[in-house]
Structure 1
């Protein structure tokens, strides 16, 4: 029974760690040597797919490898670490592609503070059209200044 608790903690820890990996990768690789793949995300080109979508494959590779090696003989820690990466990827897709960029028109008019704050943070990130001078490189964590701005807006709207 204790092993299942450890596996659950490993999934959660890996999921949380991936936010740091996503931030680091976004700031130093996507806005650095891999800008070629990422730039069409900041300067949209016609079409539904972007070169930036290659990052889904890049991030999926470690998860797939961990699933494979964690499942081969019997379930081990690698499988559950792969599951944590997979779940982060699903959350990333939901937040980035559905909530923020609205590739699918769900949650379009949400009044949720988190959703509004994450959209605002991402909008501030996208105001920079080059790979330099960016801000807000994370995905699921929203800096306090964006949450506070949304709360202030909501409070002001309710006061009127």
Structure 2
């Protein structure tokens, strides 16, 4: 296996996961699985955990499947894909759960232009409590207009 291809597949997978997060969020979480995502918009519980967290488990299982394929078959790219999904999941957790929603009291004082833009875009998403009329379904890549307001 050539390391260049491994890194290329890893980075491509990480980037593709931003699209998957957007697609899943817009068409699945705000679609037929709203019942699992609803408690993320409308807090109806006192738990640190949400039904919405089951989406994390789904992507973790996909990542583990690629690790299995990479270790038990000749599909060496499974490792790169599995790590790309896992790295995106870690980035999503840090940005969404820790930085934006403060599920853990860390990263409270991050205040650069990118952080402000991502936070503003997510705040606009949560402005709508229902499943309709949503905007800004991405996480790490958000519309440029939310960064322009930081000037």
Q: Give the TM-score normalised by the residue count of structure 2.
A: 0.95
Tell me which residue corresponds to 2:17.
18
Tell me which residue corresponds to 2:132.
132
Other structure's SS at 1:58 match: helix
Tell me which residue corresponds to 2:146.
146
Q: Give 5+ residue unaligned stretches, structure 2.
A: none
Tell me which residue corresponds to 1:105.
105
Whether 1:32 and 2:31 are equivalent positions in the alignment is yes
Deviation, 1:106, is 1.4
Task: Give the aligned length.
Answer: 150
Deviation, 1:78, is 1.1
Q: Partners in 2 of 1:41 and 1:124 — Cα distance?
A: 14
Whether 1:47 and 2:54 are equivalent positions in the alignment is no
Q: Give 5+ residue unaligned stretches, structure 1.
A: 152-160
Other structure's SS at 2:32 match: coil
Encode CA deviations 1:87-139: one digit per residue, 9 max, x unaligned. 00000001000110011111212221111111110000001011001000001
Q: Partners in 1 of 2:75 and 2:57 — Cα distance?
A: 24
Encode CA deviations 1:67-87: one digit per residue, 9 max, x unaligned. 011112567011111111010
User: Structure 1: which 4+ aligned runs deviate by more than 2 Å?
Assistant: none
Whether 1:92 and 2:92 are equivalent positions in the alignment is yes
Other structure's SS at 1:84 match: helix
Q: Give the TM-score normalised by the residue count of structure 1.
A: 0.90
Other structure's SS at 1:31 match: helix
Other structure's SS at 2:5 match: helix
